[in-house]
Amino acid sequence: SSLILLQVVFSRFCSPCDIKELFCTATGLSRNTTISLLDSTGAMVSIDPTMPNNSESHDYGCGLFSHLSDKEELFQNVLTQVAEQFSRAFKINELKTEVTNRLAMLEKRVELEGMKVVEIEKCRSDIKKLREEMASRNNSFLDDNKKLTPRRDVPSYPKMLSCLEHMYHDLGLVKDFNINPITLKRWLLCIHDNYRSNPFHNFRHCFCVTQMMYSMIYLCNLQIFSQPDCNIFANFDPEAFKQIRQGTITLILATDMARHGEILDSFRQKVDNFDFTDEEHVTCLKMVLIKCCDISNEVRPMEVSEPWVDCLLEEYFMQSDREKAEGLPVAPFMDREKVTKPTAQIGFIKFVLIPMFETVLKLFPQIEEVMVQPLRESRDRYEELKQIDDAMNEKKKSENLTMGGKKK
């Protein structure tokens, strides 16, 4: 048979399918025929626009072969056998199992570490929120200061909070009772939030009372809570909590001035033969100490104590003004028409503060110089101011009488 040579030219933009169809058309085969192209060495050539030209130096030999399904099947069998050999050689199934187990372990570790990260982030978030709350409360505190007219030479809220925390740590309460520092901060903020913004009885007053109690504990060398029979925080079981709550209520009620005479008389009966092992004696001492701290502003330097007097009188006058408007009886010491700063303080210092502190002095002589003596000096200063006020009033009366006589 004669050899027919056909020249086939195709564009470089043709697809492999187009080229295969072109070969099928040239050889007279149907378009769905599977075609493989081999070079002169028997190697398979990829049918696509990048295939080299068929030339004398690069001859495709026999050229085209069709219906190579038997060879393809054989080729697939060979590939399968090779894959099985590789699988046995490299133990792919065992490796797959090992990799799967390791992945499971890693996923578990990632999950556990993720939980730790979540807890850490939650803690960071709580601290951030707490700082934001402190900042917001600081701003609101300063705003309240601007609205009030009396002078207040008292610390700002963040400083007070920091000082209160120091007191709890310094007294050993945080360590001894295993108090969470973050919980302590929140508790102090909660106390602050529940105080009304009164001119006098506000959170700043709470701080001053706490600060004075802290000072008296150190000055008088009290460690009441460290005594086993008085350590009501020893065990935080329901019964201990009940005692803590009852003790707190007792001390709060002790600050009611309506019970002042009763509590002071009870302490006077015990002070000469005071017994620190007697629970009733210790409870009475606690009540007197909280009373001293509650009304201790005049113990402080004049530049600190006097602004508090302004605040207290403002609160009294606000109450009496409202009582007058509603037709209610008004206490004389709250009436702005009858009270002056010297008259208000002289009686309070002479008949309330000094007698109470002098009674405590019998048990703790070390308070005389730092507490009792400042009270006496404050009394003397207000008495001098009263004399000046009286002289000014007499002068005004005299002038008014003179002016009245001239008019006649």
How distant is the alpha carbon of residue 248 from its chain centre?
Answer: 25
Buried b (16+ CB within 10 A) or exposed e, 18-31: ebbbebbeeeebee
Q: What is the C-alpha to C-alpha distance for residues 28 and 94, in angstroms, rounded to an integer?
A: 52
65: three-class secondary structure by DSSP = strand
DSSP 73-99: HHHHHHHHHHHHHHHHHHTHHHHHHHH
Q: What is the C-alpha to C-alpha distance for residues 336 and 318, in angstroms, rounded to an integer?
A: 9
156: three-class secondary structure by DSSP = coil
Cβ 232 vs Cβ 247: under 8 Å: yes
**CA torsion angle 96 100 101 102 (round to 10):** 100
Cβ 215 vs Cβ 292: under 8 Å: no
Q: Could you list the active site residues?
A: 201
Q: Quick one: which of 311, 289, 384, 298 has its CA closest to 348?
A: 298
Q: What is the C-alpha to C-alpha distance for residues 389 and 380, in angstroms, rounded to an integer?
A: 14
Q: Quick one: which of 85, 18, 100 has its CA closest to 51?
A: 18
Q: What is the C-alpha to C-alpha distance for residues 190 and 161, in angstroms, rounded to an integer?
A: 12
Bin 61: left if φ > 0, else alpha if -120 < ψ < 50, else beta. left
Name 132's Cβ contacts closer than 8 Å, sequence gap at least 6.
Answer: none
> In DSSP terms, which residues pair with 64 in a beta bridge?
37
